[in-house]
Chain A
Amino acid sequence: MENNRIFWTKDLSISFGGLVAVDHVNIDIARGEVLGLIGPNGSGKTTIFNIITGIYTPTDGDFFFEGESLLGKPPYEIARKGIARTFQISRLCLDLSVLDNVFIGMHYRQKHWLIDAVFRRDLLAREVSEARDRAFSLLSVFNKELVGLAGVPVGALPQIDRRRVEICRAMAMEPRLLLLDEPSAGMTLEEMTELMEDIRKVQEESKEISIIIVEHDMTVIRSISDRVVALNYGRKIAEGTCEEVSHNTEVREAYLGKRGIKI
């Protein structure tokens, strides 16, 4: 486990003014593992994602990816290391075509530059057509019809396809760590299971990928994650298999006290 871990945090903390949003959290994830991150609203799950991707800088603690500290690195550098994410509220560019959105996921492989875009169209054409083939093969894993819709603005697609495009965009980065922020929002369980199978398919085809998934829905968590970490008020309150965590009294209190969800 120790040697195999790809990502870990060390006493990760962040506070906004007086509010401690994340409080000395230690999580780690092994290569190829799927880690579920659960907790009630406002327990700091998305904040942790924002720290990992460099949008927020932690006030204390450190986090490591493949043995290297990412503390203080700007988002684009962290992305280049191989960490991709999706967002809770979809952050696709709705006016742009499906293809454009997936292209952004491949941004770091783009070799040509502004000057080339104007003067070296042949180079651009070669790069774009390769990237388009790749985008099509990714899209067809998730939904074959999406390939035909490549030129359509994402805003015209139904919610589930938007989510698929968003995951495609993240997968296009060929990440080694994928952060999924509530991918099931607005989806049925079947759709979600299908989506997770698709992700695994892509994972098998490419290299081993580790996934941290933030979820509210325990059924989803149970069906896909190897291990679960529960958060409440920014602190880690439980860790273990899904069964262990769901029987933990503190977790039960955190959930039942708030919304009465049966776990």
Chain B
Amino acid sequence: MADENQRSQTGPLKTVTVLGIEVVIYALFLALLLMPGGEILIVEVLLLLAALFYLRRNPALRTQIQELFAANARAAWIGGIAMMLLVPFFVASSPYWLFIIIIAGLFLVACLGLNLQLGSTGMVNLAPAAFYAVGAYTAGLLALGWGLPAWITLPAGAIMAGLFSAFLFIPVLKTTGHYLALVTLAFQFMVTILLDNMEWTGGPQGLKNIPLFSIAGYSFNTDINLGFIVLPAYANFYYLMLLIVAAVGIASLRIYNSWVGVTLSTIRDDEIAAQTFGVQVNRWKLIIFSLGNCFIGLAGAFYSHLVGFISPPNFAFDKSLVMVSVVILGGMDNVFGVVLGSLLLIILPEKLRVVQEYRFLIYGVVLIVMLIFRPRGLLPFKPRDFSDLVEAAKRKRAIPAGSEAAEGRA
């Protein structure tokens, strides 16, 4: 029966439908960025609410759309990627929005790291901005002090954030429960206060004139002239950001959809049960805490090479709260939820600049409403059944055994 369903969901017309839905969402997104004034925001929010309400009322339609996308996953991915690649072309006229999108992408990378900790494993990290700072300052100091190129400072920032978290985790290992949250909270304030007061990090002035990205002599600070269109310099950063988002996103998806993902979910839901079945809870927590912070540090390092100037207020507690909100609002342990969350929470406030003073008020109201109506986030956690992996294994088995032996030798 499932097969029959699958077949009825494929075919050229269905593919066009999938792409059509994507194009509509994309167009709405671009319109939100490019149209001046706040009216478009109101229109789109109303549209979104209406759509959500309608889908809630018609679960059949919802499952149909889900199946449609699942059956045409390839087309959906190709379409989505093409649209991502085209973003700089559409917003070429306003580099500011391209910059905001890059920032949203960096938050996405950081929040995917946070999602590994908070969403997948249930470790409350209230200091993502502090690890973001560790990554940013590491990259900045290495680039300024030793003139190291970006392809060294980026991984260095990530690794440094990972090392910091490993050290931070040692005292936590001896405790249980919510102490990790408290320790990270303390770390957050320690980092901001230290950055403000240490001379070698520039104190409150921070680090200035951090060299922007340049790879093999090509400075990222030059416009891309394609003849028919000139893309702003931010396009360089945008494509590099996409590359990093893709790498981190795929890694996150694969961790979720694996046996490791099951182990992490069990630790999140019931530590005692996990231990009783042979899971080395502390070891896994340490690994995931460090890995998540590596992602966050990577985003931070990117940030310092993007803006060239970093100072303590960039990494204060409110930034941590935004990151935690992204994960909670988007959906715990759901990569697509985090994508949605970071787009909403980074881009909408920019659109709300008209009502600058009330931004955080609106923010708070949105979060409260969310927690009441969708406590598990916009796109909540989905249970796994591994059918895709099993299919893959079957296909593999169908190939004659000889090829496997050859692979083993290689």
Q: Which residues of A contact B (CB under 8 A)?
A: 53-55, 74-76, 79-80, 84-85, 87, 91-97, 99-100, 103-105, 107-108, 110, 112-114, 117-118, 121-122, 124-129, 131-132, 150-153, 169, 173
Give 25 pairs: A residue, B residue, CB < 8 Å, sorted on A. A54-B275, A75-B272, A75-B275, A75-B276, A76-B279, A76-B281, A79-B277, A91-B272, A93-B265, A93-B269, A95-B265, A95-B269, A100-B384, A103-B262, A104-B262, A110-B263, A114-B255, A117-B258, A118-B254, A121-B254, A121-B392, A126-B396, A128-B259, A129-B386, A151-B385
Q: With A96-B383, A152-B383 as given contacts, are A74 and B393 in contact (CB-CB < 8 Å)?
A: no
* Segment 373-388 of B: residues with Cβ below 8 Å from A: 381, 383-387
Q: With A93-B266, A118-B254, A128-B389 as given contacts, are A112 and B259 in contact (CB-CB < 8 Å)?
A: yes
Q: With A117-B261, A122-B396, A126-B396 as given contacts, are A108 and B269 in contact (CB-CB < 8 Å)?
A: no
Which residue of B291, B381, B384, B389 is within 8 Å of A121 (Cβ)?
B389
**Contact (Cβ within 8 A) B386 A128:** yes
Which residue of A97, A122, A169 is within 8 Å of B385 (Cβ)?
A97
Which residue of B260, B275, B381 is within 8 Å of A74 (Cβ)?
B275
**A127 nearest CB neighbor, chain B only:** B259
Q: Considering residues B274, B277, B280, B281, which has the most beta carbons from chain A within 10 angstroms of its beta carbon?
A: B277
Per DSSP, chain B at the interface is helix
**A130 nearest CB neighbor, chain B only:** B393
C-alpha spacing A152/B382, complex, angstroms: 10
**Contact (Cβ within 8 A) B279 A132:** no
**A154 nearest CB neighbor, chain B only:** B383
C-alpha spacing A4/B280, complex, angstroms: 31
Q: Considering residues A80, A121, A128, A153, which has the most beta carbons from chain B within 10 angstroms of its beta carbon?
A: A128
Specify which chain A residues have a CB less than 8 angstroms from the CB of B272 in the assembled complex.
55, 75, 91
C-alpha spacing A96/B396, complex, angstroms: 28
Q: Count A-B pairs with CB separation below 8 Å.
A: 134
**Contact (Cβ within 8 A) A85 B389:** no
C-alpha spacing A260/B359, complex, angstroms: 65
Specify which chain A residues have a CB less than 8 angstroms from the CB of B274 in the assembled complex.
104
Total count of chain B residues near the partner, CB < 8 A: 38
C-alpha spacing A169/B389, complex, angstroms: 21
Specify which chain B residues have a CB less than 8 angstroms from the CB of A113 in the assembled complex.
260
C-alpha spacing A76/B265, complex, angstroms: 17
Q: Which residues of B contact A (CB under 8 A)?
A: 250-251, 254-255, 258-263, 265-266, 269-270, 272-281, 287, 291, 381, 383-387, 389-390, 392-394, 396
Q: Shortest distance in angstroms between B118's beta carbon and chain A's nearest beta carbon?
A: 15
**Contact (Cβ within 8 A) A114 B389:** no
**A169 nearest CB neighbor, chain B only:** B277
Q: With A93-B270, A96-B269, A151-B383 as given contacts, are A129 and B393 in contact (CB-CB < 8 Å)?
A: yes
Specify which chain B residues have a CB less than 8 angstroms from the CB of A131 in the assembled complex.
259
C-alpha spacing A114/B276, complex, angstroms: 21
Q: Considering residues A80, A85, A151, which has the most beta carbons from chain B within 10 angstroms of its beta carbon?
A: A151
**Contact (Cβ within 8 A) A128 B383:** no
Which residue of B258, B275, B276 is within 8 Å of A124 (Cβ)?
B258
Q: Shortest distance in angstroms between B402's beta carbon and chain A's nearest beta carbon?
A: 16
Specify which chain B residues have a CB less than 8 angstroms from the CB of A129 in the assembled complex.
386, 389-390, 393-394
Specify which chain A residues have a CB less than 8 angstroms from the CB of B258 in the assembled complex.
112, 117, 124, 128
C-alpha spacing A204/B278, complex, angstroms: 24
C-alpha spacing A121/B263, complex, angstroms: 17
**Contact (Cβ within 8 A) A53 B259:** no
**B252 nearest CB neighbor, chain A only:** A118
Q: Considering residues A54, A95, A97, A99, which has the most beta carbons from chain B within 10 angstroms of its beta carbon?
A: A95
C-alpha spacing A80/B275, complex, angstroms: 10
